[in-house]
């Protein structure tokens, strides 16, 4: 079959974008060693940006978003991969300017492709997706910087979002006491199910203030919010604590003071899950399939088909989503 279905976004007028389901042809896909039948994708904040015409993510339209995909190899020009093999692709240029996982076919360079980790089924890999990989990378960075369970509370911001909710699940599984910061008090019970021990209102962290330091509270933090929230998190880190910063939902810009760094020796750890070398991604994926497996993940995941994409992307863009969306391309 050379025809396949995809959700394609078109620039209909200056700065106006519209997505729809279309039939596409494999011949329209870019060059690459592997042609993959996509079984599942997932929805991330970056997909919502791409689907709404954010040129910082996607420069050229028409475009099929979807930064994550799992599927089976239909053909491969690289002998590391064989027909029928289950493979996983996240990040690099997939779904940014390369036709992505919101279509039933992708063609990609072999250097972007990892075998599906053993012990993980395709749907689970996309319940996690880039959000899960990023949560794993944040926690890996904190552990490498010496975080231990008896150091105290670990803060997770943007707690009901994809990265946040999975970070809570992994940290709780590892025995940490997790404090979840959210703008959705009604989701408190869900966050507790994932393993949060306390819920705080994100407004407590989001206001700017001229104070360079706050009382020491957090042993560590995973921050997806950026902006003034990130600076407030840094101000409240305990001596020697670290924050893994991976997101910008409040703002990509933040004003800071060197005082927390030079008086408390705190660390700001940048996390990127997109351009990271494949071997490092695979190391985190195998942890996510093993010791870091989040048992309650399917309870915070909504499965959708291509025809439900538009509404779900709008919910993500407005910050209203709770948990993860799994996109089933076979529905």
- Given the structure tokens 């700001």, which residue do they identify? 268
For the bound state, the minimum distance from the C-beta of residue 108 to ligand NAP, rounded and expressed in Å, comes to 18
* C-alpha–C-alpha distance, residues 129 and 65, integer Å: 14
Task: Determine, following the binding rule CB under 6 A, whether residue 316 of this chain makes contact with ligand NAP.
Answer: yes
- Chain CA centroid to CA 245, Å: 13
Torsion sign (Cα): 243, 246, 248, 249:
negative
For the bound state, the minimum distance from the C-beta of residue 6 to ligand NAP, rounded and expressed in Å, comes to 21
* C-alpha–C-alpha distance, residues 64 and 94, integer Å: 10
Q: Which two tokens stand for residue 20?
A: 């729809």
Q: Based on CB atoms, which residue is closest to ligand NAP, 10 or 274?
A: 274
Task: Determine, following the binding rule CB under 6 A, whether residue 50 of this chain makes contact with ligand NAP.
Answer: no
Contact 112/92 with Cβ under 8 angstroms? yes
For the bound state, the minimum distance from the C-beta of residue 149 to ligand NAP, rounded and expressed in Å, comes to 24
Task: Determine, following the binding rule CB under 6 A, whether residue 62 of this chain makes contact with ligand NAP.
Answer: no
For the bound state, the minimum distance from the C-beta of residue 202 to ligand NAP, rounded and expressed in Å, comes to 5
Residue 287 gets which letter from DSSP? Answer: H
* C-alpha–C-alpha distance, residues 28 and 168, integer Å: 41
Task: Determine, following the binding rule CB under 6 A, whether residue 46 of this chain makes contact with ligand NAP.
Answer: yes
| Contact residues for 79 (Cβ-Cβ < 8 A; gap 6+) | none
Stretch that binds ligand NAP, among 18-26, 93-101, 126-134, 297-305 (CB under 6 A): 126-134
Partners of 7 in the β-ladder: 21
Q: Based on CB atoms, which residue is closest to ligand NAP, 204 or 272?
A: 272
- Chain CA centroid to CA 36, Å: 22
Task: Determine, following the binding rule CB under 6 A, whether residue 268 of this chain makes contact with ligand NAP.
Answer: no
Q: Which two tokens stand for residue 234?
A: 């840094």
Stretch that binds ligand NAP, among 43-51, 57-65, 93-101, 107-115 (CB under 6 A): 43-51
Out of 40, 45, 81, 218, which residue is the one contacting ligand NAP (CB under 6 A)?
45
Measured between alpha carbons, how far is residue 209 from residues 104, 218, 232 in Å?
48, 18, 8
Out of 38, 249, 294, 301, which residue is the one contacting ligand NAP (CB under 6 A)?
249
Q: Based on CB atoms, which residue is closest to ligand NAP, 76 or 232?
A: 232
Residue 127 gets which letter from DSSP? Answer: H
Q: Based on CB atoms, which residue is closest to ligand NAP, 35 or 190?
A: 190
Task: Determine, following the binding rule CB under 6 A, whether residue 272 of this chain makes contact with ligand NAP.
Answer: yes
Biggest alpha carbon–alpha carbon distance for the chain: 63
Binding to ligand NAP in span 158-197, by CB under 6 A: 158-164, 182-184
Out of 273, 284, 309, 313, which residue is the one contacting ligand NAP (CB under 6 A)?
273
Contact 166/158 with Cβ under 8 angstroms? no
Q: Which residues bind ligand NAP (CB under 6 A)?
A: 44-46, 130-131, 134, 158-164, 182-184, 202, 206, 224-225, 246-250, 271-274, 316, 319, 321
């Amino acid at each position: 079959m050379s025809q396949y279905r995809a959700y394609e976004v078109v620039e209909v007028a200056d700065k106006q974008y519209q997505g729809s389901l279309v039939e596409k042809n494999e011949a329209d896909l870019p060059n690459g060693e592997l042609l993959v039948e996509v079984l599942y994708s997932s929805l991330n904040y970056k997909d919502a940006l791409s689907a709404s015409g954010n040129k910082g993510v996607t420069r050229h339209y028409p475009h099929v978003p979807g930064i994550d995909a799992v599927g089976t190899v239909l053909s491969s020009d690289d002998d590391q991969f064989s027909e029928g093999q289950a493979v996983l692709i996240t990040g690099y240029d997939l779904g940014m300017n390369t036709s992505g996982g919101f279509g039933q076919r992708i063609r990609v360079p072999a250097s972007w492709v990892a075998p599906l980790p053993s012990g993980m089924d395709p749907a689970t890999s996309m319940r996690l997706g880039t959000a899960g990989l990023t949560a794993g990378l944040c926690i890996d960075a904190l552990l490498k910087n010496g975080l231990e369970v008896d150091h105290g509370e670990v803060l997770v911001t943007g707690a009901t979002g994809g990265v946040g909710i999975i970070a809570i699940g992994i940290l709780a599984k590892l025995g940490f006491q997790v404090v979840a910061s959210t703008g959705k008090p009604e989701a408190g019970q869900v966050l507790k199910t994932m393993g949060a021990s306390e819920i705080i209102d994100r407004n407590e962290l989001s206001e700017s203030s001229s104070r360079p330091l706050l009382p020491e509270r957090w042993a560590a933090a995973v921050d997806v919010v950026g902006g003034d929230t990130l600076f407030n998190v840094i101000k409240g880190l305990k001596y020697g604590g670290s924050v893994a910063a991976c997101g910008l939902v409040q703002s990509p810009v933040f004003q800071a003071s060197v005082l927390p760094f030079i008086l408390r020796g705190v660390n700001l750890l940048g996390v990127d899950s997109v351009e990271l070398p494949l071997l490092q991604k695979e190391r985190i994926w195998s942890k996510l399939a093993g010791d870091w497996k989040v048992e309650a993940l399917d309870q915070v995941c909504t499965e959708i088909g291509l025809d439900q994409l538009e509404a779900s992307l709008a919910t993500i863009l407005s910050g209203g989503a709770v948990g993860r969306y799994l996109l089933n391309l076979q529905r």
